[in-house]
Amino acid sequence: MSAYLNVLKELPEHVQLVAVSKTRTPEEILAVYNEGHRIFGENKALELRDKAEQLPKDIEWHFIGHLQRNKVKYIVPSVSLIHSIDSGRLLEEVNRRAAANGKIIDVLFQIHIAKESAKFGFSEIELREFLEQDIAEKFPNIRPVGLMGMATHTEDDDLIRSEFHGLNELFTELIDSGKFRTSTPILSMGMSIDRGIAIDEGSNMVRIGTSIFGPRQL
């Protein structure tokens, strides 16, 4: 059985799989596509744009990396979900470009849950404060549909668990206060290495590269 099917068969039905295809060739992506997969994640704007041009049009492209505002224009025509909104200014630019393209773009807010300072995202406090404004009125061309977070890169499973647990608590709070414009909110957490803990802690979308495609050449 392929690595892809092995990953897929162990996922609970309510958990969606984003196959993280950054650095992979169109041929490698097509092999997984031909097994029936349609959701792929990229973390570089130009790479996403170029792959979207070359590969089948029914692929759902997710943007999962840090997004610079001057690169938003490259992904807006083909992206279906941006996981990594980490500032109000970025959201503003996505809204502006989406409007210019006549689109409404689904986004997740990225929350900084890890102990490492290198990771991006809103703090919980910053996001709560940001969401006090009327997002639907101010940014009519984006639709907030959930949260994303990356745990600390560590062997300490208890730390990973507590970070994911905290993110799920914020997620539930924001659902209860009506902050997401969808009936099926998304909690994107878990990669190859920590997906088991993430799913235990309430993830309903995992982003997996290595377990599907093998180790990346850096």
Ligand X SMILES: *Cc1c(COP(=O)(O)O)cnc(C)c1O
Tell me the per-residue interface mask from 118 to 157 with ligand X, x by CB under 6 A, - otherwise: --------------------------------x-------
Minimum CB separation of residue 159 from ligand X in Å reads 17
178 torsion bin: left (phi>0), alpha (psi -120 to 50), beta (else)? left
Stretch of residues binding ligand X (CB under 6 A), selected from 112-120, 126-134, 137-145, 207-215: 207-215
Minimum CB separation of residue 42 from ligand X in Å reads 9
**Given the complex with ligand X, which of 135 and 150 has the nearer CB atom?**
150
Report residue 125 as tokens: 């406090």
Stretch of residues binding ligand X (CB under 6 A), selected from 50-58, 121-129, 153-161, 185-193: 185-193
168 binds ligand X (CB under 6 A): no
**Given the complex with ligand X, which of 141 and 192 has the nearer CB atom?**
192
Minimum CB separation of residue 66 from ligand X in Å reads 9
Separation between Cα atoms, residue 38 and residue 63, nearest integer Å: 14
- Grouping H, G, I as helix, E, B as strand and the rest as coil, residue 41 is strand
Reference 157, options 194, 211, 115, 132; nearest CA is 194
CA-CA distances (angstroms) from residue 81 to 7, 19, 94, 106, 199? 22, 13, 11, 5, 20
- Give phi and psi for 57, each to the nearest 5: -75, -15
Nearest-CB residue for ligand X: 209
Stretch of residues binding ligand X (CB under 6 A), selected from 89-97, 133-141, 186-194, 197-205: 186-194
- Pick out residues in 37-76 that bind ligand X (CB under 6 A): 43, 64-65
149 torsion bin: left (phi>0), alpha (psi -120 to 50), beta (else)? beta
20 binds ligand X (CB under 6 A): yes
Minimum CB separation of residue 102 from ligand X in Å reads 28
* C-alpha neighbours within 13 Å on the C-beta side of residue 55: 27
197 binds ligand X (CB under 6 A): no
- Grouping H, G, I as helix, E, B as strand and the rest as coil, residue 184 is coil
Q: Which amino acid is at 156?
A: D
- Binding stretches for ligand X (CB under 6 A): 20, 22, 43, 64-65, 150, 191-193, 207-210
